[in-house]
Structure 1
Amino acid sequence: MASSSSKLIRGYEVVIGLENHVQLSTVSKIFSGSSTAFGAEPNTQASAVDLALPGTLPVLNRGAVERAIRFGLAVGAKVAPLSIFARKNYFYPDLPKGYQISQFEIPVVQGGKVEFFVGDEKKVVQLTRAHLEEDAGKSLHEDYHGQSGIDLNRAGTPLLEIVSEPEMRSAAEACEYAKTLHALVMWLGICDGNMQEGSFRCDVNVSVRKPGEPFGTRREIKNLNSFRYLLQAVDYEVNWQIDEIEDGRKIQQATVLFNPDTGETRAMRSKEDSADYRYFPDPDLPPLVIGADWIERVKQEMPELPSQMAKRFEEQDGLSPYDAALITESLAKARYFETARDACGHPKLVVNWMNGEIARLLNAKGQTFEDVHVQPRVLGRLIERISSGVISNSGAKDVFKAICEDSRDLPEVVDEVIKALGVEQVSDTGAIEAILDEVLAANPKSVEEFRAGKDKAFNALVGQAMKATKGKANPSLVNELLKKKLAG
């Protein structure tokens, strides 16, 4: 199915809210000293605390709290001066305590908002909360001779669960929101963003309703680990719910899984409400108290935020809000822009090349800006050579192709390639004037037609001049000198 982007789908309004589980970038777990490194042999990173052995007590990881504070400040939320840890009671084989330590009534981060673009349209989604919690273990079902195994390496891994308000109205909006959130947590350095390893997971709540009616019954799509799957899952779920309603059936609240092989969602279990988890304050953990001095210290250590940097690019470099948002999608992309801009002094041209030739190259290879081979100072030199008339735009593309696999941070590479390819423009006024004299003498009919008011004749003369120089003449200089000669 195609991606949803309109406000109404088959006459129904789509209502979407996201819950994102962000694995925090601490080296140890949230309540124990065990490592959080990915890929270890099963159960080699599970301490007595993680195994819930009798007599063990949790001790809160200060680094996890600081990362939560950093996120709260970045989204303009209230960082609670006092928050409470609670026990969320449920029984799975990979949950050794029989409960998960989380936050319920008083989370550490309250409110906030995330701004993003869908195409060139700006969107704002309000956040409900972000709370700290521990991850569960993992059930293993492969290579165990028909049996299942339990790996508790992930048990106790620190998570920040970020909950949005149900304010998104299409799969496209939900996807761009998730992408923006993903980029932000990596920008802040609180998460590595590796979706394949489970560092950033999306749970999507979806319902549909006729315009103006109350919210419909939601179904939660669990553990989506790619933006492409998010789009596909939401689109399928929306159409499935509409089909059910149109056929006279009621939507039942449920937790569902997405199968990427079939492109379908299927119900896993009936959806629990908060009362089913029997939350109560964890007696082993005191309230989390965050003083104003702690918040201020974290604030002073934070990097410039994407929104702040985008605003600076708008005011300082004259970029549109849309271009500024694109350039600040990641810190690597923003730093690349700044370095290339400083090397050539043409911010808009840098943006055009980043969103044009470089983006096409990366998309073809399935890469991101962290993988760019053409160094920013090299791109800056290439753009400077275009703006100064040394090479044409078409010649610059040939040069770019030649240097796109060269990772040397040497602007001189551009000049070497220009010389080797022989694409340097002729910008010698005397040489071009001599060629134009020959062109005018050889094309008296075109000269006569131009003076009779036929603009096409001028283009024909320019074409003859470019042909005579084998395309190497500076086009703007040819135009300027030709107009002077025809006016004389």
Structure 2
Amino acid sequence: MEFETVIGLEVHAQLKTNSKIFCSCSTEFGAPPNTHTCPVCLGMPGSLPVLNRRVVKFAVRLGLATNATLNRDNRFARKNYFYPDLPKGYQISQFELPICEHGALDIEVAGTVKRIGITRIHMEEDAGKLVHDELEQVSYVDLNRAGTPLLEIVSEPDMRSPEEAVAYLKKLHAIVRYLDICDGNMQEGSFRCDANISLRPLGQQAFGTRTELKNMNSFRNVQLALEFEERRQRDLLLDGGTVVQDTRLWNPDTNRTETMRGKEEAHDYRYFPDPDLVPVQLSEELIAQMQGSLPELPDARKNRLMRDYDLGDYDADLLCASRELADFFESANALCQQPKRLANFIGTELLREVAADEMAACPVRPEDLGKLMRMVESGAISGKIAKGVFADMLQGGGDPEVIVRQKGLSQMSDEGELAAMVQEIVAANPEQAQQFREGKDKVLGFFVGQLMKKTRGKANPQLANELLRKALK
């Protein structure tokens, strides 16, 4: 029997605000436990929440970027459940009236573009964090994170493979970072994903029983967890078993999913409108303000880079992986006007050392990389020397012209000086010279190597080839 995989994702994006969603406590990551708390986020009796206006603005920006419908009137609800890291005994979220609904994102997998629907985007507060001490077999509660503002983005069950799920997740990750509303750090939990996956017989319309996967803190782990769960459910169904609806944790040490608890339904949470918070009303003025502040988004920027710089799909896609990287490329190219050479250098040299989403910490300034590419194009240095100079720039930044001058790396382009060396090398290797004259063109590489050795890699490669061919003929 053949099965079809059905996947939907629930993504939580922690917003880049200085304070929490309903109080003025700091959202700074890594503070000592329980130091960023107050009566509001601790759930003390009598304390009242006050909505952070910046959270609403960020939600509107994401709704506009995903072509969602903005509900002018929306409101908060209480999601009731009991857990040690939830001090109030409920989480303030949105249920029946979320701020955004009915959006969509386009993804591309294996050359095919597919639209993935977004059911809803809503604002909510985060819970605290449990810290487990396996040695003492006790757990501690850190409530610094309680009340941190989140946007939950719930997709439609439109994905049919782990590859599509990861493509959707990467697209959403890029958008929230382009919008500058979330830092996207998956290791710190700023951008995290829960996946719902089920299988159904091919051609069947009704959905199968789904399981929810948690604890996936990287794109790779999302794909591995979904692939494992896909195999597990298929094997279970083929053996005549049934899938139990539950919540499962991904264990990266064993590369398996493990049962955590039974899966809750919406009615289990007993949602009801939060009596301490008034409904949120979006003004047309606020929406227009947010619309006007939207940056160029990943897809639009990719298309522009391909059009304006004559870049291929692969290079443009690579450069648009983050807003900072695309900005870096355009700033560097403004100095060298060598987009293809620059894109190739960024892809092979820069991204090997600096991740696309860590460009803010890159020690090399875009204008310095542009200057380096300009030196290669002018023949001042060779491509090989440029890689060595770039390695020096990565160590502590710096002007490539200064590095080249201080290390005496300028390329030799004096035709008379190189011609004399070429004559010496050809005269010293008559056997190889005769082989070249007999049509063995590959022998030219031997002579180029000898000249580069003699000049310590400084000979202008193009001029060297011309002089060698002339001398050998």
Which TM-score applies when normalising by structure 2? 0.87
Cα pair distance change 1:51/1:465, threshold 3 Å: closer
Cα pair distance change 1:474/1:44, threshold 3 Å: closer
1:323 maps to: 315
Letter in 1 for 2:364: V
The one of 17, 32, 37 equivalent to 1:46 is: 37
1:356 maps to: 348
1:144 and 1:439 mapped to 2: Cα distance? 71
2:447 maps to: 464
2:282 maps to: 290
2:132 and 2:425 mapped to 1: Cα distance? 79
Unmatched 5+ residue regions in structure 1?
1-9
Contact 1:341 1:380 in 2 (8 A): yes
Report SS of the residue matched to 1:231.
helix
Report SS of the residue matched to 1:405.
helix
2:270 and 2:465 mapped to 1: Cα distance? 79
Structure 1 residue 268 displacement after superposition = 1.6
2:362 maps to: 372
Contact 1:362 1:369 in 2 (8 A): yes
1:345 and 1:414 mapped to 2: Cα distance? 22
1:154 and 1:404 mapped to 2: Cα distance? 35
Contact 1:139 1:151 in 2 (8 A): yes
Contact 1:23 1:157 in 2 (8 A): yes
Contact 2:332 2:369 in 1 (8 A): yes
Report SS of the residue matched to 1:111.
strand
Cα pair distance change 1:482/1:56, threshold 3 Å: closer
Contact 2:130 2:141 in 1 (8 A): yes
Letter in 2 for 1:416: R
Cα pair distance change 1:447/1:77, threshold 3 Å: same
Residues 151-200 of structure 1, C-alpha deviation per residue, up to 9 Å, x if partnerless?
A: 33332221100111223333333233323322322332212323333222
Letter in 1 for 2:400: P
* Stretch of structure 1 that moved more, 186-195 or 244-253: 186-195
The sequence identity of aligned pairs, in percent, is 48
Cα pair distance change 1:481/1:264, threshold 3 Å: same
Cα pair distance change 1:66/1:443, threshold 3 Å: same
Letter in 2 for 1:476: Q
1:196 and 1:478 mapped to 2: Cα distance? 50
1:44 and 1:433 mapped to 2: Cα distance? 73
The one of 58, 62, 65 equivalent to 2:49 is: 58
Report SS of the residue matched to 1:46.
coil
Cα pair distance change 1:91/1:444, threshold 3 Å: closer
Residue correspondences, number = 469
Structure 1 residue 448 displacement after superposition = 9.1
2:272 maps to: 280
Contact 2:447 2:468 in 1 (8 A): no
Structure 1 residue 97 displacement after superposition = 3.1
Structure 1 residue 65 displacement after superposition = 0.4
The one of 357, 382, 397 equivalent to 1:392 is: 382
Contact 1:120 1:322 in 2 (8 A): no
TM alignment of 1:54-453, pairs within 5 A: 54-118=45-109, 124-142=115-133, 146-214=137-205, 215-362=207-354, 368-408=358-398, 410-416=399-405, 419-420=407-408, 422=409, 424-432=410-418
Structure 1 residue 67 displacement after superposition = 0.8
1:309 and 1:85 mapped to 2: Cα distance? 35
Structure 1 residue 41 displacement after superposition = 4.0
Cα pair distance change 1:332/1:26, threshold 3 Å: same
2:112 and 2:359 mapped to 1: Cα distance? 24
Structure 1 residue 466 displacement after superposition = 5.9
Report SS of the residue matched to 1:15.
strand
Residues 412-446 of structure 1, C-alpha deviation per residue, up to 9 Å, x if partnerless?
A: 234226x53x4x44333445556667788899999
Residues 14-38 of structure 1, C-alpha deviation per residue, up to 9 Å, x if partnerless?
A: 3222111111122222222333233
1:4 maps to: none
Unmatched 5+ residue regions in structure 2?
none
Report SS of the residue matched to 2:395.
coil
Letter in 2 for 1:400: F
2:444 and 2:250 mapped to 1: Cα distance? 62
The one of 19, 29, 33 equivalent to 2:20 is: 29
Structure 1 residue 331 displacement after superposition = 2.3
Contact 1:94 1:137 in 2 (8 A): yes
Structure 1 residue 98 displacement after superposition = 2.9
Report SS of the residue matched to 2:146.
coil
Which TM-score applies when normalising by structure 1? 0.84
The one of 461, 475, 478 equivalent to 2:461 is: 475
